[in-house]
Amino acid sequence: MARIFAIANQKGGVGKTTTCVNLSASLAAMQQRVLLVDLDPQGNATMGSGIDKWGVERSIYDVLVKRDPVKLVAQPTPEGGFDVLPANGDLTAAEVELLEVEQRERRLRTALMEVAADYDFILIDCPPSLNMLTLNGLVAADGVIIAMQCEYYALEGLSALVETINGVAQSANPELKIAGLLRTMYDPRNSLTNEVSAQLHEHFAGKVYRTVVPRNIRLAEAPSHGLPVIHYDRNSRGAKAYMALAGEIIRREEKAASVAEFVAEPVTGEGDDPGVTWYTAAHREKS
């Protein structure tokens, strides 16, 4: 079953789409089955993956509004090694049309559940605003990866985003949580960068990814070629950063899965009454 992550930030220009495309390609390079969902009407993730957003017969609009199956709409990238649910300007109309339907905030979740077994990871590129499209992305996700720059205004936007995530968790998706914070366009020579980074570690202990994405010209050039950076210049600092991030996310998910398995699996004490069962080490100690 796929792990579904929404990559979100209500502030634009923080590397959100860049992260979606390059993390998808990096996970695919590690033999993971990946679907990238482009929920932004600008279609930048679609174009950055090497797919012509105006040349597609169907898009995410058809999935959300017409309820076309994901398998019918998703397209493989020319070189990225992952699939994409493409987006273009048609998606702008979806927000208005969804207002008139029932369960409108769950349209994407329902569609993705039909293909969740076909992928290891599903990444959702959310628009840089809180609207019906972003809400669909958050309701569909297991966790949110927040891409952000280490600057003052980013901290203000982060608090608003956290409130939004908590609101969605309380009202529509109880499983939603912050999966991690990714520091993008990172420059360790900047004192403000280091100060903001320290605050993130203080207030989001355990949630900040160790990997940072540096400012990198190759990373900025890759979208104009319709390529993820690992296929444009695999030796660049940007490519190495996203490969490191992919590895870190995979390790986190494997660790979480092993912990969940340990907690859920009953363990019977040797030589004890077979009717006595412990579900965690802590429970065993207390018993």
Helix (H) or strand (E) run with residue 195 in it = helix 191-203
Report the distance separating Cα 165 and Cα 130, nearest Å.
11
Domain ranges of the chain: 3-286
d(CA 61, CA 65): 6
Longest dimension (CA), the chain: 68
Closest CA to 148 of 136, 157, 139: 157
Q: What is the pLDDT of residues 193-252, one digit of tens each?
A: 899 899 999 999 899 999 999 999 999 999 999 999 999 999 999 999 999 999 999 999
pLDDT tens digits along 118-145: 999 999 999 988 899 999 999 999 999 9
pLDDT tier at 111, thresholds 50, 70, 90: very high
CATH topology of domain 3-286: Rossmann fold (3.40.50)
Q: Using CB atoms within 10 Å of the CB of residue 152, give its burial: 0 to 12 exposed, 13 to 18 middle, 19+ buried.
A: exposed
Q: Are the C-beta atoms of residues 15 and 187 closer than 8 Å to each other?
A: no
